[in-house]
Amino acid sequence: MHKKYLLLSSLMIASFALSNPASAASIINGNFDTDLSGWSTVTNGGSAQWDAGKAVLSTGSDVAAQSSVLVQGDDGLFSFSNPITLGAKDNLFKFDAVFSVLATDALESGGGFADNLQVWLYDSMDSSLDTRIATIDAATFNSSFSFDLSSFIGRSVAFSFELNDENDGFNSQAALNNVRIEASPVPVPGAWWMFVTGLFGLSGNWLRNNLKNSILKTLN
């Protein structure tokens, strides 16, 4: 009896372990709880500040590429003194972003591209691998974003959020939160589930038979 329970428990634990692999927490202070520690900021006419548990990038007067930048894994000068090494399970880069349009900018004539947030992955050893993993229009409805990192596993990289001030007539803001690296859920193979559910069925039969025998013994 005890052996069967132990076997069943072990299989259940193994099943959960397969379907819920541990994720690696490679991003420092991705929740921006009290400040921007762990991150470097670079500004080019805009601003990058902590506010109420978020990292807030804002464009400023006139137009400028990389108006405000928030980066981790690098100090913004591509020295890569603290790159993020992506482990075998670090295959999703996720974050939340809330966008808002600020006041009109008297130095912008309008009619150009909308202000936008670019998300970059910079490789510490090979710049030919640098990849813009997203360009998000600053008028995008608030949302959560997820990007596949599986082709960068084993690389040491930096992640950079870069708000560009375009000639759209307005200034913009992006409030970032919950920046993290996660493991993709691993689907459990169908054959394995059939094996586990079969064991549950056997276990049920075994319990029913033992219950029936106990009742019969009591009645006799």
**Residue 168: CB minimum distance to Ca ion, A:** 5
- Closest CB to Ca ion among residues 40, 171: 171
Residue 215 has φ and ψ, to the nearest 5°, of: -65, -45
- Closest CB to Ca ion among residues 41, 171: 171
Cα separation, 177 vs 53, whole angstroms: 8
- Residue with nearest beta carbon to Ca ion: 105
Angle CA 63–65–66, to nearest 5: 120
- Closest CB to Ca ion among residues 158, 175: 175
Site for Ca ion in 114-173 (CB under 5 A): 115, 165, 168, 171
Crossing angle of helices 2-19 and 190-219, in 10° steps, is 150
Q: According to CB under 5 A, which one of 74, 105, 162, 182 is a site residue for Ca ion?
A: 105
Cα separation, 218 vs 215, whole angstroms: 5
Tokens read off for 71: 């980066």
Binding mask 42-81 for Ca ion (x = CB under 5 A): -----------------x----------------------
Tokens read off for 172: 């913009």
* Positions that interact with Ca ion (CB under 5 A): 59, 105, 115, 165, 168, 171
